[in-house]
């Protein structure tokens, strides 16, 4: 880029400014890319919906291609409108001339469902992210969540009879129950951490295996010991109503509590502070990016591994606590795959705690929106899953958009072919040369 200054490309400098966000890596860039990714995925998804709509059988076409009269069973515009609009509870009126829906309040059922998913994914996303920052790939958040959820349910059920029912007992039970979830998940996460540190066992394998162990041990325990009497599913008794997060403002059926979301956001802030502004966080991320340098800097690699996995497990465990105390009210065998979605959330967030919030929210919107599409349209849920996958796929490849940014940055400048070569080559060789280049 710098090289072409001499050629006096004024247009180029303007263009450079436009393209710069794509080439530099900043928060703004990340947001821009995410929006571009969603738009592109919609374009691709649009075509997919049309094609499937052409293959499917229906009596009346939901959408007709303008000027051609070719009919399609599914209306791609409606699909995406419902997906995003519905996830928020229709702030924009459907079919009405007015854009904004005057009846809309944020405290509706659909938005509650979206935020409920967001809240849970904040915890599992943070769990995966903190391990990632220490250079550890924790696939075991799901297992840690299962163990944390069971610890919470059993602790609250055991303590509840000892306290007089009421809001005070509720606060105590929620705090103690969440702490129990953190301890349970933390210990479960410490196992692969210790195995990695002291027995050189690959954490990817051990965490995956411990997921099965957690799920099945918990299943058998509940089936044989803690199963609620007369229950048709493998589940514990419900924890008392007063020991669950209150829905506040949102409808109870949304399984969402604002307090839990605020708690999750507080955890995001705390974890960000921990990673960026504490000596232990410095140790942790230094181990993650360059283990040999961390060791040189006096970081105890084994201890840091165990610490990071324990912290990661504790966050997964708290995710389980919130699932019990906010969503389900009890432990039951069919726990959703929140831990696995947490991996994608973390990667979308660039393993940055601050990025977990928008990433988890995107997942929440897709989840809430998918439910709405199911209610409102004939589009099969499988197709909705494909559309969700497309959005995540595109958002997860920012490098692709950076490449487009760089490409348009060079060719869009109205420079000749020869200049294009001379402006790009130095950058490439400078990068390749590494070490000792002059100037």
Partner 1 sequence: MNPAVHLDGITKRFPGVVANDDVDLAVERGSVHALLGENGAGKTTLMNVLYGLYRPTEGTVRLDGEAKSFDSPRDAIDAGIGMIHQHFMLVDPMTVWENVVLGNEPKTWGGLRVDREAAREAVVELSERYGFDVDPDATIAEISVGEQQRVEILKALYRGADVLIMDEPTAVLTPQEVEELYGVFEELTEQGKTIIFISHKLGEALSAADDITVLRDGVNVGTVAADGVTREELAEMMVGREVLMEPATSPQEAGERVLEVTGLSVEDDRGVEAVSDLSFELRGGEILGVAGVDGNGQSQLVEAITGLREAASGEVRYRGESMRGKSRRDRIDRGMAFIPEDRQERGLVMSYDLTENGILGSQHDPPFARVGRLDWGAARDHAESVIEQYDVRPPDAEAEAESLSGGNQQKFIVGREFERDPELVVATHPTRGVDIGSTEFLHDRLLDLRAEGKAVLLVSSKLDEVQGLSDRLAVIHEGEFTGVVDPATVTEEEIGLLMAGESLDDDSVEGAALHDAADDGADAGIGGVGADDEERAGDEEVDA
Please identify which residue in 26, 216, 253, 290 interacts with partner 1, judged by CB under 8 A. Answer: 290
Cα–Cα dist 228/222, whole Å: 9
Dmax (CA) of the chain: 82
Shortest Å, Cβ 301 to partner 1:
10
Per-residue x/- mask for partner 1, residues 294 to 313, rule CB under 8 A? Answer: xxxxxxx-------------
Residues ≥6 apart with Cβ < 8 Å to 237: 157, 228, 330
Tokens read off for 360:
């988890």
Helix, strand or coil for residue 337?
Answer: coil
Per-residue x/- mask for partner 1, residues 170 to 199, rule CB under 8 A? Answer: ------------------------------
User: Does 289 engage in binding with partner 1 (CB under 8 A)?
Assistant: yes
The residues in 218-277 that bind partner 1, with binding defined as CB under 8 A, are 277
Beta pairing partners, 332:
235
Of 37 and 284, which CB lies nearer to partner 1 in the complex structure? 284
Shortest Å, Cβ 433 to partner 1:
6
Shortest Å, Cβ 359 to partner 1:
22
Cα–Cα dist 3/22, whole Å: 20
Of 158 and 270, which CB lies nearer to partner 1 in the complex structure? 270
User: Does 8 engage in binding with partner 1 (CB under 8 A)?
Assistant: no
User: Does 5 engage in binding with partner 1 (CB under 8 A)?
Assistant: yes
Residue whose entry in the numeric block shows the structure tokens 């840690």: 144
Tokens read off for 436:
């000792």
Residues ≥6 apart with Cβ < 8 Å to 195: 201, 203, 206
Residues ≥6 apart with Cβ < 8 Å to 102: none
Task: Please report, for the chain, how many H helices and E strands are present, in that order.
Answer: 16, 2
Enter the DSSP assignment of 248.
Answer: T
User: Does 279 engage in binding with partner 1 (CB under 8 A)?
Assistant: yes
Shortest Å, Cβ 425 to partner 1:
6
Q: Pick the stretch among 116-124, 232-240, 339-347, 430-438 that binds partner 1 (CB under 8 A).
A: 430-438
Of 47 and 421, which CB lies nearer to partner 1 in the complex structure? 421
Cα–Cα dist 223/217, whole Å: 10
Per-residue x/- mask for partner 1, residues 384 to 423, rule CB under 8 A? Answer: ----------------------------------xx-xx-
Cα–Cα dist 194/201, whole Å: 9
Shortest Å, Cβ 297 to partner 1:
4
Shortest Å, Cβ 66 to partner 1:
48
Of 287 and 310, which CB lies nearer to partner 1 in the complex structure? 287
Cα–Cα dist 86/333, whole Å: 29
User: Does 127 engage in binding with partner 1 (CB under 8 A)?
Assistant: no
Please identify which residue in 26, 105, 381, 429 interacts with partner 1, judged by CB under 8 A. Answer: 429
Calculate the dihedral angle through the C-alpha atoms of 191, 192, 197, 201, rounding to the nearest 10 degrees.
130
Calculate the dihedral angle through the C-alpha atoms of 374, 375, 379, 383, rounding to the nearest 10 degrees.
-10
Of 49 and 306, which CB lies nearer to partner 1 in the complex structure? 306
Of 8 and 97, which CB lies nearer to partner 1 in the complex structure? 8
Closest CA relative to residue 238, chosen from 338, 330, 165? 330
User: Does 432 engage in binding with partner 1 (CB under 8 A)?
Assistant: yes
Beta pairing partners, 100:
92
Tokens read off for 388:
């969700």
User: Does 96 engage in binding with partner 1 (CB under 8 A)?
Assistant: no
Shortest Å, Cβ 205 to partner 1:
24
Shortest Å, Cβ 202 to partner 1:
19
Tokens read off for 325:
């105390």
Binding footprint of partner 1 on the chain (CB under 8 A): 2-3, 5-6, 277-283, 286, 289-290, 292-300, 418-419, 421-422, 425-426, 429, 432-439
């Amino acid at each position: 880029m710098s090289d072409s200054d001499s050629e006096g490309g004024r247009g180029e400098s303007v263009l450079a400014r436009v393209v710069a966000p794509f080439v530099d890596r900043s928060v703004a860039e990340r947001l821009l890319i995410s929006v571009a990714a969603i738009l592109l995925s919609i374009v691709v998804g649009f075509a997919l919906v049309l094609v499937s709509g052409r293959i499917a059988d229906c009596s009346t076409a939901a959408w007709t291609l303008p000027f051609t009269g070719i009919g399609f069973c599914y209306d791609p515009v409606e699909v995406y409108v419902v997906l995003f609009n519905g996830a928020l509870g229709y702030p924009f009126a459907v079919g009405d001339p007015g854009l904004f829906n005057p009846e809309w309040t944020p405290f509706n059922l659909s938005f509650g469902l979206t935020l409920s998913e967001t809240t849970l994914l904040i915890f599992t996303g943070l769990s995966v992210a903190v391990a990632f920052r220490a250079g550890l790939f924790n696939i075991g958040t799901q297992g840690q969540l299962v163990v944390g959820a069971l610890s919470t349910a059993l602790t609250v059920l055991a303590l509840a009879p000892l306290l007089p029912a009421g809001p005070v007992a509720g606060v105590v039970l929620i705090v103690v129950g969440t702490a129990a979830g953190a301890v349970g998940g933390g210990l479960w996460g410490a196992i692969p951490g210790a195995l990695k540190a002291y027995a050189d066992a690959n954490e990817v394998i051990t965490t995956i295996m411990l997921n099965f162990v957690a799920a099945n041990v918990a299943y058998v325990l509940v089936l044989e010991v803690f199963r609620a009497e007369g229950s048709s599913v493998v589940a514990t008794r419900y924890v008392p109503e007063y020991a669950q997060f209150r829905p506040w403002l949102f409808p109870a059926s949304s399984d969402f509590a604002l307090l839990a979301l605020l708690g999750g956001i507080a955890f995001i802030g705390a974890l960000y502070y921990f990673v960026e502004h504490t000596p232990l966080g410095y140790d942790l991320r230094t181990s993650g990016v360059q283990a040999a340098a961390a060791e040189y800097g006096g970081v105890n690699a084994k201890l840091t591994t165990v610490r990071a996995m324990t912290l990661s497990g504790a966050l997964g465990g708290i995710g389980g606590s919130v699932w019990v105390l906010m969503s389900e009210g009890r432990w039951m065998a069919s726990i959703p795959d929140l831990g696995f979605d947490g991996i994608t959330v973390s990667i979308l967030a660039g393993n940055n705690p601050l990025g977990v919030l928008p990433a988890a929210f995107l997942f929440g919107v897709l989840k809430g929106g998918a439910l709405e599409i199911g209610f409102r349209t004939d589009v099969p849920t499988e197709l909705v899953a494909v559309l969700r996958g497309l959005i995540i796929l595109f958002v997860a490849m920012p490098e692709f958009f950076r490449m487009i940014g760089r490409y348009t940055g060079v060719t869009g400048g109205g420079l000749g072919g020869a200049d294009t070569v001379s402006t790009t080559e130095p950058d490439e060789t400078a990068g390749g040369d590494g070490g000792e280049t002059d100037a």
